[in-house]
Amino acid sequence: MRSLFRASVAGLALASVAGTAAIAAESLQDVMKRRSLTEKDLVNAAKTYTPTGKRDEFIVFSSGGQSGQVIVYGVPSMRILKYIGVFTPEPWQGYGFDEESKKVLEQGKVDGREIRWGDSHHPAITETNGEVDGEYLFINDKSAPRIAVISLKDFETQQIVVNPIMQSEHGGAFVTPNSEYVIEAAQYPGVLGRGYAPLSEFNEKFRGAVTYWKFDRARGRIVPEQSFSIELPPYSQDLSDAGKLASDGYSFTNSFCAERYVGGIERGRPPFEAGCSQADVDYLHVINWKKAEQVYKAGKVTMINDHPVIMMKTAIEEGLVALVAEPKSPHGVDVSPDGKFIVVGGKLDTQASVYSFEKIKTAMDAKKFVSKDPYGIPIIDIKDALHKQVPLGLGPLHSQYDSKPCIVYTSLYVDSQVVKWDYCEGKVLDKVSVHYNIGHLVAMEGESTKPKGKYLIALNKLAIDRFNPVGPLHPQNHQLIDISGDKMELVYDMPVPLGEPHYATAISADKLKPLVRYAYGTDSRTGMAHPQAVRPGSEKIVREPGKVTVMMTAIRSHFTPEIVEVEEGDQVNFVVTNSERAEDETHGFAVSTYNVNLSIEPGKTATASFKADKPGVFSYYCTEFCSALHLEMTGFLVVKPKGLATASADDSVKAGQTYTRTDFDKQYKTCTDTQVVIDSVVGYIVSTNFKDFKDVVALVEDATDQLNFAKDARTKADEAAKKQDWQNATLWAGQWWQYQVKAADIGLRAKTYLEQNGAKISKK
């Protein structure tokens, strides 16, 4: 009967495609007409459309710009999956609201000053042999020279390090091929250590630098005690990249104001923009970091703010650094997958310069230099370093590599285009217009030794007319480009409504292995067991003079305890552990008017700490709609006025409804009826091959937990009934039913999953 009904519906849909009366769903042609879509639009739609339940092939980590966050989205669907709080508090994740994450943000204080935003620019994923491996993500903050470490096990920020010597930075975060170091290059020159010197002494006292932050992969932390820097001239260092394969052991850093201009428009001098674009060339800094590491380990350093710095004089003596001229106002520097070439774009140039690492190394080894800069750093003649210069268009900035050999994509800021070209032969192959003024671009694993090709995303600086207007501040525009064929095809515009993404980095989704739940009682910010995590049944309230610590659990749909009494002025710590094991069963914890919100994923322990400075009765509640009785997941924080006697423990019993034997019997019957439904669902599940479905196995485990809780509650109801305590008997029977409802909810989800995924009935 049912299948007959389906067949007739399908027949109707087919008929309408053929052009007869459209009774059922609209046909493709109808939709095209109604929405004025072309055939090409449909092809593009098909390239990005991701049917419900299907997932993306690649995951992009994009800088969140001024939001100080990271944006995570899928490719090709361009669906945003997460914003990760990094330099900025993010309440949904409890970031900056729970004590554990506050400690991470605290690490980001610069010279004692709390900074609650970041100008995040360049994310970088950990690499193994130059291939992105998906274990950790780094991102820099330009405004305050900082680097953050994000674990890709849970997509949470776990560490922020502050550069001890720089004023600002831009050339971070870039990793060496085995993530030995995270590279961070300064931007605007300053006195190293963030000290003072008059601008008249700019040439002598101001400096740039590159820092090599040691990364301890096993601990997942940057180790400041094993990190070092190299002093550089005050040239406004810019982007950087690490050498790989052929150029492993070297790093490359651009610069853009080798003129060392200091501005002064108000003093009648021309502005910075004139003074910094006067010379025809700036410098690419070539640094032998492996050798620098030896020099640092040999102790040939000067300590600035307790941080070892290889001074320029030493760097020159040891042959660690050389300069190569770059055309006017360079910007991006991108090493090819084999490490043999370095592509540099010039903002005020029309061509990209392709440097040969082999030539650079030959000149460095042979000490073949044309001159020295004012600080004595040797300069390699550009002719001795160039492979080719290729006219691309106006304002070439950044480059990303394809999986096909010799193919590179470069952003053209002024032309608002992406150009596809061959850097081996120096030929332009294709151009596509983007909207508008593209900055960075990202190809899939396009900065690694094994780029994956397929897609490219243009990170445009201006959106102008692309989206529905939302006021003078426009969303950013990320445009997806299909690069699988000879011609690039622009297929999708995605508005980014969070901040200006500078760079983004992409990884094959199957390389990421995030957690479903934490080991019970984990402090997610340290990855360690939380010392105050408790299991259900061991919850407690610990009172010390002036301080109350509540070790609490959260599970669908209640907190334990539910009534917490403290005295005005007490420091209150709620240490909440989510005792769920089920996937996606996050609980929140907010205390009304106390600026508290936690996000507690299964297994996590997080702490809300505040001074109960105002007497009153405040509700705390779960902020994630976790179950049918989510609204009931609440409790009272009773802050009694100072000096008032403690209310008697069973005071609360006087509140609310009174229950009788009739109420109990009614509730009991509901429970036994519900059990019949549950038994039938369980019967269906166990009759199938459900064990072949990992997701269902997890659901069954969760449902079994709930049924065990139900059994406990039933026992309590029975015991109270035996004593004719109809009040508690009725309430415990109600709780029994709550657990049954949860078990049924999970069971039905499992049943639907099995039906939709073709489970076989194996048993009778």
633 binds, among ligand RUQ, ligand CUA, none (CB under 5 to 8 A by kind): ligand CUA
Residue 148 found at the interface with ligand CUA (CB under 6 A): no
DSSP letters, 317-335, are HTT-EEEEEEESSEEEEEE
Contacts (CB under 6 A) with ligand CUA, residues 658-717: none
Alpha-carbon span 368 to 419, nearest angstrom:
34
Angstrom CA distances, 383 to 9, 171, 324, 336, stand at: 72, 26, 10, 20
- The residue type of 383 is K
Q: In the bound complex, what is the minimum distance in angstroms from residue 557's beta carbon to ligand CUA?
A: 6
Closest CA to 276 of 344, 331, 353: 331
Q: Are the C-beta atoms of residues 344 and 254 closer than 8 Å to each other? A: yes
- Lookup: tokens for 625: 């709609």
Q: In the bound complex, what is the minimum distance in angstroms from residue 627's beta carbon to ligand CUA?
A: 6
Backbone torsions φ then ψ of 173, nearest 5 degrees = -100, 130
**Nearest CB to ligand RUQ, comparing residues 70 and 710:** 70
Beta bridge partners of 252: 241, 286
Q: In the bound complex, what is the minimum distance in angstroms from residue 590's beta carbon to ligand CUA?
A: 10
Alpha-carbon span 456 to 478, nearest angstrom:
10
How many residues bind ligand CUA (CB under 6 A)? The answer is 8
Among 122, 340, 347, 558, binds ligand RUQ (CB under 6 A): 122
Alpha-carbon span 77 to 55, nearest angstrom:
8
Among 624, 663, 702, 705, binds ligand CUA (CB under 6 A): 624
**Nearest CB to ligand RUQ, comparing residues 170 and 454:** 170
Contacts (CB under 6 A) with ligand CUA, residues 573-612: 587
Among 626, 639, 710, 717, binds ligand CUA (CB under 6 A): 626
The SS3 call for residue 383 is helix
- The residue type of 67 is S
213 binds, among ligand CUA, ligand RUQ, none (CB under 5 to 8 A by kind): none
Among 147, 301, 633, 637, binds ligand CUA (CB under 6 A): 633
The SS3 call for residue 347 is coil
Residue nearest to ligand RUQ (CB): 502
Stretch that binds ligand CUA, among 240-248, 444-452, 619-627, 664-672 (CB under 6 A): 619-627
**Nearest CB to ligand CUA, comparing residues 141 and 624:** 624
Alpha-carbon span 141 to 119, nearest angstrom:
5
Residues 207-243: b if buried by 16+ CB within 10 A, e if exposed = bbbbbbbbbeeeebbbeeebbbbbbbbbbbbbbbbbb
Beta bridge partners of 293: none
121 binds, among ligand CUA, ligand RUQ, none (CB under 5 to 8 A by kind): ligand RUQ
630 binds, among ligand RUQ, ligand CUA, none (CB under 5 to 8 A by kind): ligand CUA
Stretch that binds ligand CUA, among 117-125, 281-289, 621-629, 755-763 (CB under 6 A): 621-629
Contacts (CB under 6 A) with ligand CUA, residues 242-281: none
Residue 587 found at the interface with ligand RUQ (CB under 6 A): no
Alpha-carbon span 534 to 555, nearest angstrom:
13
**Nearest CB to ligand RUQ, comparing residues 64 and 94:** 64
Q: Are the C-beta atoms of residues 482 and 489 closer than 8 Å to each other? A: yes
**Nearest CB to ligand RUQ, comparing residues 140 and 151:** 140
Q: In the bound complex, what is the minimum distance in angstroms from residue 440's beta carbon to ligand RUQ?
A: 5
Among 440, 461, 478, 558, binds ligand RUQ (CB under 6 A): 440
Contacts (CB under 6 A) with ligand RUQ, residues 146-205: 170
Q: In the bound complex, what is the minimum distance in angstroms from residue 337's beta carbon to ligand RUQ?
A: 20
**Nearest CB to ligand CUA, comparing residues 325 and 622:** 622
Q: In the bound complex, what is the minimum distance in angstroms from residue 477's beta carbon to ligand RUQ?
A: 16
Alpha-carbon span 455 to 48, nearest angstrom:
11
Stretch that binds ligand CUA, among 40-48, 109-117, 605-613, 623-631 (CB under 6 A): 623-631
Residue 630 found at the interface with ligand CUA (CB under 6 A): yes
**Nearest CB to ligand RUQ, comparing residues 438 and 759:** 438
440 binds, among ligand CUA, ligand RUQ, none (CB under 5 to 8 A by kind): ligand RUQ
626 binds, among ligand RUQ, ligand CUA, none (CB under 5 to 8 A by kind): ligand CUA
Q: Are the C-beta atoms of residues 497 and 477 closer than 8 Å to each other? A: no
Residues 717-751: b if buried by 16+ CB within 10 A, e if exposed = beebbeeebbbbbbbbbbbbbbbbbbbbbbbbbbb
> Residue 374 CB: number of other CB atoms within 10 A?
9
**Nearest CB to ligand CUA, comparing residues 442 and 633:** 633
Alpha-carbon span 240 to 185, nearest angstrom:
7
Alpha-carbon span 468 to 477, nearest angstrom:
12
Q: In the bound complex, what is the minimum distance in angstroms from residue 706's beta carbon to ligand CUA?
A: 14
Q: In the bound complex, what is the minimum distance in angstroms from residue 709's beta carbon to ligand CUA?
A: 15
Q: Are the C-beta atoms of residues 174 and 182 closer than 8 Å to each other? A: yes
Among 207, 502, 525, 742, binds ligand RUQ (CB under 6 A): 502
Among 439, 501, 521, 635, binds ligand RUQ (CB under 6 A): 439
Stretch that binds ligand CUA, among 261-269, 412-420, 467-475, 625-633 (CB under 6 A): 625-633
Residue 207 found at the interface with ligand CUA (CB under 6 A): no
Backbone torsions φ then ψ of 637, nearest 5 degrees = -100, 110
Burial of 359 (0-12, 13-18, 19+ CB in 10 A): middle
502 binds, among ligand CUA, ligand RUQ, none (CB under 5 to 8 A by kind): ligand RUQ
Residue 552 found at the interface with ligand CUA (CB under 6 A): no
622 binds, among ligand CUA, ligand RUQ, none (CB under 5 to 8 A by kind): ligand CUA
Q: In the bound complex, what is the minimum distance in angstroms from residue 489's beta carbon to ligand RUQ?
A: 24
The SS3 call for residue 510 is helix
Quick one: which H or E segment has residue 241?
strand 237-242
Stretch that binds ligand CUA, among 97-105, 307-315, 618-626, 644-652 (CB under 6 A): 618-626
Q: In the bound complex, what is the minimum distance in angstroms from residue 538's beta carbon to ligand CUA?
A: 20
Residue 397 found at the interface with ligand RUQ (CB under 6 A): yes
**Nearest CB to ligand CUA, comparing residues 510 and 632:** 632
Contacts (CB under 6 A) with ligand RUQ, residues 316-375: 331
Closest CA to 310 of 177, 170, 210: 210
Alpha-carbon span 123 to 138, nearest angstrom:
5
How many residues bind ligand RUQ (CB under 6 A)? The answer is 11
Residue 503 found at the interface with ligand RUQ (CB under 6 A): yes
Q: In the bound complex, what is the minimum distance in angstroms from residue 552's beta carbon to ligand CUA?
A: 12
**What is the arrangement of strands in the sheet containing 438-444, beginning at the earlier edge strand?**
438-444, 453-460, 476-482, 489-496
Among 622, 685, 707, 744, binds ligand CUA (CB under 6 A): 622
Backbone torsions φ then ψ of 293, nearest 5 degrees = -60, -40
Alpha-carbon span 104 to 251, nearest angstrom:
29
Per residue, the 3-state secondary structure of 675-700, as one string, reads HHHHHHHHHHHHCECHHHCHHHHHHH
The footprint of ligand CUA (CB under 6 A) covers 557, 587, 622, 624-626, 630, 633
The footprint of ligand RUQ (CB under 6 A) covers 121-122, 170, 239, 331, 397-398, 439-440, 502-503
